[in-house]
Amino acid sequence: MKYEIQGKPCPAAICTLEAGESVICQKGAMSWMTPNMSMQTKGGGIGKMFSRAISGESMFQNIYTAQGGQGQIAFASSVPGEIMPVELSPNKTIVAQKSAFLASSESVSYELFFQKKLGAGFFGGEGFIMQKFSGNGILLLEIDGNLITYDLEQGQSMLLDTGHLAAMEATCSVDIETVKGVGNALLGGEGFFNTKVTGPGRIWIQTMPIYTLASAISRFIPHSN
């Protein structure tokens, strides 16, 4: 599968598939396509359907296949931000925030990723459940706002405000760190906890989590009494 990402701040991934090649996407993700793309909706079994549901995705996924020749299909982002392409391999596994999945090669595998540390699950802002992607192929993820990347060395850490962790390589670990000082926690506007991500591995940070955008917009929407 070949792809090209166009447009800002609401991009689309335009994918070109050879005859017989397939792409998997989240329900409702298709934006436009050539007429020779055929669709099939699958759940993949009760276990996989349940896993997707509790990770914030639709229980069903659509599989599009190019028929009789080369085909094209486009997937547009649902919010202003970026589409993050990742080329997965047996040595590269990605853990992403819930609802990040947009589309992927059919050879990409998905499973739940559970936070092992209770504190990170309760207070880290990412929740107990994230998404883990592995295999060989192209993975397309939706990112809120712009994307910043860091490569962390062994034992090197980065502190993130709640919700800013978009994805990380599976070699990284997540924990929480308490904001120092009662006055800072109560009056600083940053809350009591930060998400602590420790390497080795690459992390992807999003500049505007969707709830931050929603909060900013809501201030200008009149509320009826």
87-129 residue pLDDT tens: 999 999 999 988 899 999 999 998 888 765 544 444 444 455 7
Average pLDDT over residues 57-85: 90
Report the C-alpha gap between 205 and 149 in whole angstroms: 6
Q: Is 104 a member of any domain?
A: yes
70 Cα distance to chain centroid: 28
Question: Is the model more confident about 53 or about 114?
Answer: 114
CA-wise closest residue to 107 among 33, 43, 22: 22
* pLDDT for the residue 54: 52
pTM: 0.81
Question: Is the model more confident about 68 or about 223?
Answer: 68
* pLDDT for the residue 116: 56
**Can you give the CATH number for the domain in which 184 is found?**
3.60.160.10
pLDDT at 185 over 50: no
Q: Is 223 a member of any domain?
A: no
* pLDDT for the residue 122: 46
Secondary structure class of 37 (helix, strand, coil): strand
Q: In a 10 Å sphere around its CB, with 0-12 CB exposed, 13-18 middle and 19+ buried, how is residue 183 labelled?
A: exposed
Whether the CB-CB separation of 156 and 199 falls below 8 Å is answered with: yes
Mean pLDDT score of the chain, rounded to an integer?
83
Instruction: Return the amino acid letter for 62.
Output: N
Reported as a pLDDT band with limits 50, 70 and 90, residue 48 is low
Question: Is the model more confident about 42 or about 148?
Answer: 148
Reported as a pLDDT band with limits 50, 70 and 90, residue 44 is low
pLDDT at 187 over 70: no
Torsional sign, CA 16, 17, 22, 28: positive
Q: Where in the sequence is the domain holding 34, given as residue range(s)?
A: 2-218
pLDDT at 177 over 90: no
Report the C-alpha gap between 158 and 186 in whole angstroms: 22
Average pLDDT over residues 33-51: 75
% of the chain with per-residue pLDDT over 70: 76
Select the highest-mean-pLDDT range: 25-34, 59-68, 148-157: 148-157
How many other CB atoms sit within 10 Å of the CB of residue 128?
A: 16
Q: Is 145 a member of any domain?
A: yes
Whether the CB-CB separation of 166 and 206 falls below 8 Å is answered with: yes
Q: In a 10 Å sphere around its CB, with 0-12 CB exposed, 13-18 middle and 19+ buried, how is residue 214 labelled?
A: exposed
Secondary structure class of 190 (helix, strand, coil): coil
Whether the CB-CB separation of 32 and 13 falls below 8 Å is answered with: no
Instruction: Return the amino acid letter for 75.
Output: F
Question: For the chain, what is the domain count?
Answer: 1
Q: Is 7 a member of any domain?
A: yes
Q: Is 224 a member of any domain?
A: no
pLDDT at 57 over 50: yes
Q: Is 225 a member of any domain?
A: no
